Amino acid sequence: TVLKRMKQGVGKLPPGPTALPLLGNILQLKGKELFRSILKLSEKYGSVFTIYLGSEPVVMLCGYEVLKEALNGDDFAARGSLPLLKRITGDHGVINSNGERWKQLRRFSIVTLNNFGMKKRSIEERIQTEAQFLVEEFRKNKEQPFDPTIFFSRSVSNVICSVVFGDRFDYEDTNFLFLIITLDDLFHILGTVWVQLYSLFPNVMEYLPGPHKKVVKDMDQLKVFIQERVKMHQDTLDPNCPRDFIDCFLIKMDQEKENPLSEFSMENLVTTTFDLFAGGTEITSTTLRFGFLILLKYPEVEEKLHEEIDRVIGQNRCPSIEDRNAMPYTEAVIYEIQRFIDIVPLALPRAATRDIQFRQYVIPKGTTVYTVLSSVLYDPKHYQNPESFDPNHFLDANGCFKRNDAFMPFSSGKRMCLGEGLARMELFLFFTTILQNFDLKSDIDLKEIDVNPETSGFSRVPHPFSFCLLPR
Ligand code: HEM
């Protein structure tokens, strides 16, 4: 429809590289380094430009000033097309929906997660408990080198499980391991060329074999798992005492059953639960894993963290969210980790909600828009040494924590990550609890530790590594 409207004379898209018929700019976009190709194009075409994915125009927005302007208001608050996700979740849930459905589900999710303590105690306690389980699990490694990936995935995933399903899982539970492995597969494939092919030619790909087929099948199974949990909740629900997110949704469904415009349906319950689970697990646990790799590389940073933890928290109690106020160095390190690793360089696609006059261009309604978060997190106008890992980016001359508006790993505005509060709490409590209990030791020479990310299409992940944890 965007193309049709453009043929009718609507729109004046920003300039960009010449596109091939049908293939678009695929030759200029290297799958594994998609966002790097985009940054390179922005050097030539400026901070607002158009590329073609197949025959579909996609507008790229780069740099802090441009994103600030674009994300302020409703103009680009719609979700752009994600064909593989659409195949899995349809237009249901919160990540992939738009309009009234998205508004109702997003508002409900935020309010409910808040009631459960997104910024209050009860969630804090859930994370504290999980962090202690993790420490106990780490102790079993007895100072031997190990790959921490699955440890972080299980713990972070368990936090969201306790919020949506009411309880954490045992680390060896087979259902739980199925959830984690399935999600991991999904994220893995999101970074491969298969997703780009699927995005360009969804109809053709439906008929071709490939890993996208397995992911779709696994996701269907994951939804069945959620459906079973919902059924168990229905059988045991006490409307006066909701235990978790699913209970709250069921109560809301009942309250709204006479309202024809209500979006509180079974399909939206299952998909929103899936969205929270998917959004809440992988990115946060990868941030933790990546963060520990960086700390291994910079022992002087680890030492200062230990000093602050010992001074403010000590050894006799577990870290709490309140400690954040008294721990500017730790806060600055966590912010800098998030900035430096730039985990979702292109965020998720957005779409223009109407014909939008943006600077000297007119972007027709429905056009897919990418907000290039990398270009903000690495914006040299806002960070002194963007290419280096340097906690001073978030500290002033007195060692106090210093905010920076160009800190946007969760994006910004009405469609920004709805799990930011939860993620921030998790990062702080997991980092501090682990460092309170252990010293880190690398099993390779520091010079050989590579903190450059392995980029996949959607997210950036650290190179595989192992390390030792020495009890303090
Ligand atoms: C370090 C951790 C995290 C990072 C860096 C992150 C980042 C992001 C980003 C960049 C987006 C896309 C926003 C856009 O449309 O431009 C997003 C969306 C989203 N995130 Fe997160 N996220 C994190 C953790 C979480 C957690 C813990 C949850 C679970 C509660 C979560 C749930 C979601 C959901 C549901 C959306 C879709 C929001 C919507 O479409 O309205 N995220 N996140």
Q: Is the CB of 423 under 6 A from ligand 1?
A: yes
**Alpha-carbon distance 153 to 461, whole Å?**
13
Nearest CA to ligand 1 atom 20: 417
More confidently predicted of 193 and 320:
320
- pLDDT for residue 219: 80
Q: Is there a contact between 338 and 393 (Cβ–Cβ < 8 Å)?
A: no
Q: Is the CB of 459 under 6 A from ligand 1?
A: no
Q: Is the CB of 219 under 6 A from ligand 1?
A: no
Nearest CA to ligand 1 atom 18: 417
Counting residues of the chain whose pLDDT is more than 70, the rounded percentage is 91
Q: Is the CB of 275 under 6 A from ligand 1?
A: yes
More confidently predicted of 9 and 272:
272
Q: Which CB contacts under 8 angstroms, 24+ apart, belong to 38-46?
A: 38/62, 38/346, 38/370, 38/372, 39/372, 39/374, 39/375, 41/16, 41/17, 42/372, 42/375, 44/17, 45/14, 45/15, 45/16, 45/17, 46/14
pLDDT at 248 exceeding the cut of 80: yes
Pocket test for ligand 1, best of 113, 417, 420 (most atoms within 8 A of CB): 417
- pLDDT for residue 201: 64
pLDDT at 119 exceeding the cut of 60: no
Question: What is the Å distance from ligand 1's center to 287 Cα?
Answer: 13
- pLDDT for residue 320: 96
354: pLDDT confidence band, cut at 50, 70 and 90? very high
122: pLDDT confidence band, cut at 50, 70 and 90? confident
pLDDT in tens, 134-169: 999 999 999 999 999 999 999 999 999 988 988 899
Q: Residue 106: CA atoms inside 13 Å, Cβ hemisphere, count?
A: 19
**Alpha-carbon distance 332 to 390, whole Å?**
9
Amino acid residing at 66: V
pLDDT in tens, 5-37: 776 666 789 999 998 887 888 777 765 667 778
pLDDT at 384 exceeding the cut of 90: yes
ipTM of the complex: 0.99
Three-class SS of residue 409?
coil
pLDDT at 185 exceeding the cut of 80: no
Q: How far apart are the first and last CA of the chain?
A: 62
Question: What is the Å distance from ligand 1's center to 181 Cα?
Answer: 20
More confidently predicted of 215 and 408:
408
Question: What is the Å distance from ligand 1's center to 347 Cα?
Answer: 9
Question: What is the Å distance from ligand 1's center to 278 Cα?
Answer: 9
More confidently predicted of 195 and 466:
466
Question: What is the Å distance from ligand 1's center to 101 Cα?
Answer: 18
Report pTM. Answer: 0.94
Q: What's the rounded mean pLDDT across residues 88-95?
A: 89
CATH code linked to domain 2-471: 1.10.630.10
- pLDDT for residue 207: 67
Give the number of the atom of ligand 1 that is nearest the alpha carbon of residue 275. 35
Question: What is the Å distance from ligand 1's center to 441 Cα?
Answer: 32
Nearest CA to ligand 1 atom 27: 280
Q: Which of 132-141, 211-220, 352-361, 376-385 has the lowest mean pLDDT?
A: 211-220
Question: What is the Å distance from ligand 1's center to 290 Cα?
Answer: 18
190: pLDDT confidence band, cut at 50, 70 and 90? low
Q: Which pairing describes strands 361-363 and 454-455: parallel, antiparallel, or unpaired?
A: unpaired
Q: Is the CB of 94 under 6 A from ligand 1?
A: yes
Q: Is the CB of 344 under 6 A from ligand 1?
A: yes
Q: Which of 46-60, 189-203, 354-368 has the lowest mean pLDDT?
A: 189-203
Q: What's the rounded mean pLDDT across residues 333-350?
A: 94
pLDDT at 240 exceeding the cut of 60: yes
pLDDT at 99 exceeding the cut of 80: yes
Q: Is the CB of 291 under 6 A from ligand 1?
A: no
241 carries a ligand binding annotation = no
- pLDDT for residue 215: 75
- pLDDT for residue 121: 47
CA torsion angle 132 137 141 146 (round to 10): -100
Q: Is the CB of 287 under 6 A from ligand 1?
A: yes
**Alpha-carbon distance 34 to 30, whole Å?**
5
Nearest CA to ligand 1 atom 7: 410
- pLDDT for residue 332: 98
CA torsion angle 127 132 134 137 (round to 10): -160
Q: Which of 53-57, 268-272, 328-332, 415-419 has the lowest mean pLDDT?
A: 53-57
**Mean per-residue pLDDT over the chain, rounded:** 89
Question: What is the Å distance from ligand 1's center to 276 Cα?
Answer: 9
Nearest to 155, CA basis, from 143, 174, 169: 169
Counting residues of the chain whose pLDDT is more than 90, the rounded percentage is 66
pLDDT at 199 exceeding the cut of 80: no
Give the number of the atom of ligand 1 that is nearest the alpha carbon of residue 281. 27
Q: Is the CB of 347 under 6 A from ligand 1?
A: yes
pLDDT in tens, 300-337: 999 999 999 999 999 999 999 999 999 999 999 999 99
pLDDT in tens, 34-63: 777 888 899 999 999 999 887 889 999 999
Question: What is the Å distance from ligand 1's center to 418 Cα?
Answer: 6
DSSP letter at 47 equals S
